[in-house]
Amino acid sequence: MKMIACTEGRSDRVEAFSLEMINAARSIAAAGDEVVAFFAGQAAKAAASSFGAADRLIAADAAGSDLIPAEAYARLLRDTIAAEQPDLVLVPYSANGLDVAADIAARTGWPLLSYVNEIKRDGESLNVVAQMYGGKVLAECVVKLPAVLMVNPGAFEEAMPGPVDAAKVQQFDAMPAIESSRVKMVAIDVPDYADVDLTTAERIVCVGRGIGDEASIDIARDLATILGAEIAGSRPVVDNGWLPKLRQVGKSGQKVKPKLYLALGVSGAPEHLEGMSHADLIIAVNTDPKAPIFNVAHYGATCDLFDLVASLSDRLQASPGR
């Protein structure tokens, strides 16, 4: 079986979820199978020095531009699929991947399964566990190959980074596809980290919509201060203007990996998990025992966050240093 693991990166860095796509393919590869990493973007050199867990790398080098629209990425991937004839294409659930996976499935006629968390091999088919309803329901599916799977970042461990054998790197110019693309990506707005950089925080207290209103964030902020943690929020909290955008965790926010992640009133939608599921220790507080955040939490409390935060803050203040 031949598998293409789609990867991404910008400037001189590859996205961590790229290594997860390679590992997802590796996890179902049997002897004699081949895992081919596909990359399109400016970070082709970084891809060649990171994706050694794949058997080969096909890199479409957008040397002059970080602005690669999904339309161009999909076209480059389609050409690669036509040349390689893979049995399986793994695409990350990313802004780019959302467009690319649909394009590939529509044009090849292959089935597409989205929000994939688990993949097991069964002869010519795959048994796949995919999320539905923001992760509240898990669907067990059997899909015949060839197929396209859009895999949730955070669902698989990252493969060990390392260089790809130079003889196994096939590089070509992505610029013609970018220049002829009907969609032009004009700019990428990178956040200014002068205020806070959650990506380097060791402890994070994250509030979700369960916090109720802006004023109530103060009780979580006080707990964060006691814990020496940064305060963060899920997207609805940020969309409501209760916390600044730089403090949003998730797909369209920051990807964090603190030693402690305390999630208060966060449901654990896939887009949120993408930003925090690799934290060393996740503690979740939610009144709903079926909240998907408990699927990734190491410890969980099914209770009202206000009760827990109040008594935890009191206990910590009563015995500092514990």
Ligand X SMILES: Cc1cc2nc3c(=O)[nH]c(=O)nc-3n(C[C@H](O)[C@H](O)[C@H](O)COP(=O)(O)OP(=O)(O)OC[C@H]3O[C@@H](n4cnc5c(N)ncnc54)[C@H](O)[C@@H]3O)c2cc1C
Residues forming contacts to ligand X in the complex (CB under 6 A) are 134, 208-210, 234-236, 248-253, 265-267, 269, 271-272, 275, 285-288, 291, 304-306
Shortest Å distance, C-beta 288 to ligand X: 4
Residue 208 labeled ligand binder: no
Nearest position to ligand X, beta carbon = 250
Closer residue to ligand X, CB minimum distance, 172 or 306: 306
Closer residue to ligand X, CB minimum distance, 285 or 296: 285
CA distances from 210 to 207, 220, 253, 264 (A): 7, 12, 19, 7
Shortest Å distance, C-beta 305 to ligand X: 4
Closer residue to ligand X, CB minimum distance, 80 or 216: 216
Residue 248 labeled ligand binder: yes
Closer residue to ligand X, CB minimum distance, 121 or 245: 245
Residue 234 labeled ligand binder: yes
Cβ atoms < 10 Å from Cβ of 313: 18
Query: In this structure, what token pair is assigned to residue 267?
Result: 């449901």
Shortest Å distance, C-beta 186 to ligand X: 20
Residue 169 labeled ligand binder: no
Residue type for position 144: K
Length of the chain: 322
9-10 and 13-14 as β-strands: parallel, antiparallel, unpaired?
Answer: antiparallel
Cβ atoms < 10 Å from Cβ of 162: 10
Cβ atoms < 10 Å from Cβ of 268: 26
What is the 8-class DSSP label of residue 268? -
Q: Tell me if 20 sits within 8 A of 7, measured CB to CB.
A: no
| Residue stretches of the annotated binding site for FAD | 209, 234-235, 248-252, 265-272, 286
| Residue stretches of the annotated binding site | 209, 234-235, 248-252, 265-272, 286
